[in-house]
Amino acid sequence: MDLRDEEIEALGTQGFFVRTAFLGEEQARAIHAQAQARAASGGLRPAAIRRGADRSEDTAVRGDFITWLSPEPGSALGGLWEAFAALGEALSRAAYLGLGRFDVQLAHYPGGGARYVRHRDAFPGQSNRRLTAIYYANPDWRPAHGGQLRLYREEAPLDVPPTLDTLVVFLSERLEHEVMPTHAPRLALTAWYYGRDVA
Ligand code: OGA
Ligand code: MN
């Protein structure tokens, strides 16, 4: 896994970087197919946390359906897992992030306005999630589908299209972000890396 100098620099100065064509079209399509099949199997659960009997307020905050992946050597999703592992090692070496284990989530936004409002993945000092890496698997994405990842950097916010084979990496404590309302199904695979000090 080769990291580019400008990516390491961007992570330090802006708190994120974006790489398109991360794994190549063939691998990306295979990941899409497997992620799509997993989502269609009905095994995903609403990500919104239930609050009593009424969870409508929560889907207004976060409308995706998720599951957690495990390493599956030999499969397309297993290949992505390996790529996330290599990414974490490369970033630990190049950016001195001291990353340890990671979790991988598959998230499916069904469209119909499903979104995830502005948030951070971790809060400074809690030393839980250090780094977020999101890989998108949407081969036919168009602007009308919505679901851009809005990154609240210091300048004007940046909207990243969730197109096939795009990787976004950011510091979990630092960058606020948001999933804009989706108007078509949207698949994302996210790795959260923890610090080495966390078991
Ligand atoms: C998250 C999240 C962004 C995306 O799951 O915490 O911010 O683009 N996802 O799916
Ligand atoms: Mn997030």
Any atom of ligand 1 within 6 Å of the Cβ of 190: yes
Given CATH 2.60.120.620, say whether it is the number of domain 5-48+62-110+125-195: yes
What are the respective helix, strand and coil percentages of the chain, to the nearest 5? 25, 30, 40
For a ligand 1 pocket test, name from 69, 132, 163, 172 the mutation site with the most ligand atoms within 8 angstroms of its C-beta.
132
- How confident is the model at residue 158, as a pLDDT? 98
- How confident is the model at residue 173, as a pLDDT? 93
Indicate the SS3 state at residue 129: strand
For tokens 């598959």, what's the residue? 106
pTM for this prediction: 0.95
Q: Please tell me the distance between residue 39's alpha carbon and the centre of ligand 2 in angstroms.
A: 19
Beta carbons within 10 angstroms of residue 62's beta carbon: 19
Q: What is the pLDDT of residues 96-133, one digit of tens each?
A: 888 999 999 999 999 999 999 999 999 877 668 999 99
**Looking at ligand 1, which residue's alpha carbon is closest to its atom 8?**
149
- How confident is the model at residue 53, as a pLDDT? 67
